[in-house]
């Protein structure tokens, strides 16, 4: 029992502490919106790609076992997506709210929160497994997001929206880094020269701490507490229902401990930051999306700690 609690505390506390530091720095005007925007771009375009690339090429990922994990990710995502669509059809009356609700339920913050928790829990092995999972499921997330948010987009604009999203997927630095790493491994190329590797590792080391500080700095307590009925329902779907679906899927597919743990943290993390951007660009209720994002960013961390402690006690992770 104490071991499970200590394990959960170890993997979640560093993330909460860094987010708290970011929130404190923003409140004290030590950092401003411009810093957050620039730092977030640096993380997304340079630091995270380096982290993913070097994590994969340094690892010995069992692709056969990984296929089962990715399959579990597809099953979990589709269950959440179609379940949320059915729920929205009957219980979310406003058209602008439906797609935002669905996206809030099925789409998690894998690139920052999940990856950080997986890294804290399992070290480089967890980071590598999580990176491969994230690369594949990110594409699925974007496709499903376009589908569910298209109900608020003019019919003649849907093709343009879909084409634009395809372009973003192809040019996504994280996807490019993962594909490059897979090709690098497939060709059995030697590890990069030490100066290059060290530079990449230094950039990779900056990625998660800086990303978490920026996440904390963007928290808006007022928005987080201003929960409408739909916002709370979507948040419950993200914080409670999504982790439970992941657990059931992991048990049903008999995933080994590390893969089970990665599946859980990938699914149980807060709503994705990109969900707000997509909702706004496609005519969805962006205020609702912001409320879901803010509330789940804090509450999901607690839920992940409780869930990982419980799964640890059962010996599943």
Q: In this predicted model, what pLDDT tens digit does every residue of 2-52 receive, in sequence order?
A: 777 788 888 888 888 998 999 999 999 999 989 988 998 898 889 989 988
Per residue in 137-168, pLDDT (tens digit) is: 988 898 888 888 887 654 446 666 667 767 77
Domains of the chain, with CATH numbers? 2-314 (1.20.1530.20)
Percentage of the chain beyond pLDDT 90 is 42
Question: How many CB atoms are located within 10 Å of the residue 273 CB?
Answer: 20
* Mean per-residue pLDDT of the chain: 87
100-107 average pLDDT score: 95
Q: How confident is the model at residue 118 (pLDDT cuts 50, 70, 90)?
A: very high
Q: What angle do CA 187, 191, 192 make, to 5 degrees?
A: 110
CB 142 within 8 A of CB 272: no
- Scanning 187-268, the segments in alpha helix (DSSP H) are 194-217, 221-225, 229-236, 242-253, 257-268
- H-helix or E-strand containing 175? helix 173-186
CB 108 within 8 A of CB 137: no
């Amino acid at each position: 029992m104490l071991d499970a609690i200590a394990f959960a505390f170890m993997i979640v506390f560093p993330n909460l502490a860094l987010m708290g530091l970011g929130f404190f720095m923003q409140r004290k005007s030590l950092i401003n919106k411009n810093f957050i925007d620039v730092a977030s771009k640096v993380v997304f375009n340079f630091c995270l790609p380096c982290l993913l690339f070097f994590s994969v090429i340094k690892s010995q990922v069992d692709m056969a076992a990984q296929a089962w994990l990715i399959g579990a990710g597809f099953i979990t995502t589709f269950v959440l997506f179609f379940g949320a669509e059915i729920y929205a059809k009957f219980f979310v009356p406003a058209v602008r709210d439906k797609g935002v609700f669905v996206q809030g339920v099925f789409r998690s913050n894998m690139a920052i929160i999940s990856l950080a928790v997986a890294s804290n829990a399992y070290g480089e092995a967890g980071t590598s497994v999580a990176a491969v999972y994230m690369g594949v499921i990110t594409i699925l997330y974007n496709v499903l997001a376009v589908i569910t948010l298209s109900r608020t987009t003019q019919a003649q604009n849907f093709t343009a929206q879909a084409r634009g999203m395809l372009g973003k997927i192809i040019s996504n630095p994280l996807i490019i880094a993962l594909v490059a790493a897979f090709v690098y491994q497939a060709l059995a190329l030697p590890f990069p020269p030490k100066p290059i590797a060290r530079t990449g590792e230094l950039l990779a080391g900056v990625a998660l701490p800086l990303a978490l500080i920026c996440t904390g700095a963007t928290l808006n307590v007022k928005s987080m507490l201003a929960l409408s009925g739909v916002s709370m329902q979507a948040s419950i779907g993200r914080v409670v229902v999504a982790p439970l679906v992941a657990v059931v899927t992991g048990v049903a597919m008999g995933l080994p401990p590390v893969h089970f743990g990665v599946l859980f943290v990938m699914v149980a993390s807060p709503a994705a930051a990109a969900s707000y951007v997509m909702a706004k660009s496609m005519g969805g209720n962006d205020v609702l999306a912001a409320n879901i994002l803010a509330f789940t960013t804090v509450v999901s961390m607690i839920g992940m700690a409780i869930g990982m402690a419980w799964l640890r006690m059962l010996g599943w992770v």
